[in-house]
Amino acid sequence: MQKLWKLVSSPRQLVVFEAAARHKSFTLAAHELNVQQPAVSAAIKQLEASLGVALFDRQHRRVALTSAGLKLHADLERIFDQLFISLEALRQQASPEYVTLSASSAFNVYWMLPRLADLHERYPNIDLRLQASDREPNIDVENISLAIRRGNGDWPGCESILIAPEEIYPVASPKVMAAAINLKGLPSLAHQRLIHLEEPIRERPTWKQWFSHFDIRLETIPSGLRLNDYALVLQTAIAGQGFAFGWHHLVGPLVQQGLLAARQDWTWKTGLGFYLVWSKHKPLTVAAQEARDWIIQSSKLSA
């Protein structure tokens, strides 16, 4: 920003230029900005002097943008449009109907999206925004209404309620599962192509931990695809690229639809769970309370 102010002495000059360029008139720009026309002319002259280029071709009773003016106007138009979108999004967060749900992309895609029609039918006034994140943002600092987190239910400053216990079992496409003719016991799974989830920030269980839970000690885990997003892991498994972890609350419907096949007899119940959390410090709006209660009820129906 300091470099910018070395080129332009005041942000007001850019605002004045944008208005004059959009209207192609100093007079109309002055009317929009509620200033006198000479003030517009002076601001643009100062901007041209700072940049060392002419931005307008001043003709009798009209002005036209030069090539330099056209480029600057196009850049400012894009920047101001993006700024408007950002500010409007922040303003909407103050709306009592605005509800933000922060969750992994996989939860949003495989748990929330199939249920959104029911939410909209029951609560048409709720403006729900799904926020996918690869981390666990501070819900107070980032003004998040609700969030989904994996753990034991205890997070400082948060209320929580269990949505689903963590239950993991191997899944693969029906074709891959059928082709694994040697898959007679847990150790034989180590000889199959495994898909690994390696999220950059959030801690997630690994295949090594899964095997260890069943007292299978492997010096090395077979290599395979390594992906940093669970939604991609499931898409890769559906595409027939190997065996993946199946979190029951997400893959259950995919198994029922025949998109995935599962070995639920090899389920690892970790003792952790996926929780809906919200702030202890900021009261939920009516819309956020309705969204919270709807998620809780939906989780019970799908348990």
CA atoms within 13 A on the CB side of 76: 18
Q: Report pLDDT digits (tens) over 90-119.
A: 666 555 568 999 999 999 999 999 999 999
| Cβ atoms < 10 Å from Cβ of 82 | 10
In the prediction, which pLDDT does 91 show?
65
| Topology of domain 96-303, CATH | D-Maltodextrin-Binding Protein; domain 2 (3.40.190)
CA 110, distance to chain mean position in Å, is 14
pLDDT for res 218: 80
- Contact yes or no for 165/273 (Cβ under 8 A): yes
| Residue 100 bridge partners (DSSP) | 129
Per-residue pLDDT tens digits for 213-267: 999 888 777 778 999 999 999 999 999 999 999 999 999 999 999 999 999 999 9
CA 35 to each of CA 14, 43, 80, 144: distance values in angstroms, whole numbers, following the listed order: 15, 11, 21, 40
* Predicted model pTM: 0.71
Question: Which are the contacts of 11, defined by CB distance < 8 A and separation ≥ 6?
Answer: none
- Specify the pLDDT at position 88: 67
Q: Which amino acid is residue 245, in one-letter code?
A: F
The second-level CATH assignment, the architecture, of 2-92 is Orthogonal Bundle (1.10)
> Among 5-9, 23-27, 47-51, 119-123, which is the least confidently predicted range?
5-9
Angle between helix 67-92 and 11-23 (nearest 10): 110
User: pLDDT tens-digit profile of 192-212?
Assistant: 899 999 887 888 899 999 999
> Any idea where the domains of the chain sit in the sequence?
2-92, 96-303
Amino acid symbol at 281: H
109 closest CA partner among 205, 228, 226, 229:
229
Cα distance between residue 119 and residue 296, in whole Å: 12
| For residues 38-59, average pLDDT | 90
The label of the residue with tokens 């198994």 reads 255
> Residue 92 has what pLDDT?
60
Radius of gyration (C-alpha) of the chain in whole angstroms: 28
Structure tokens that stand for 96 in this block: 């009592």
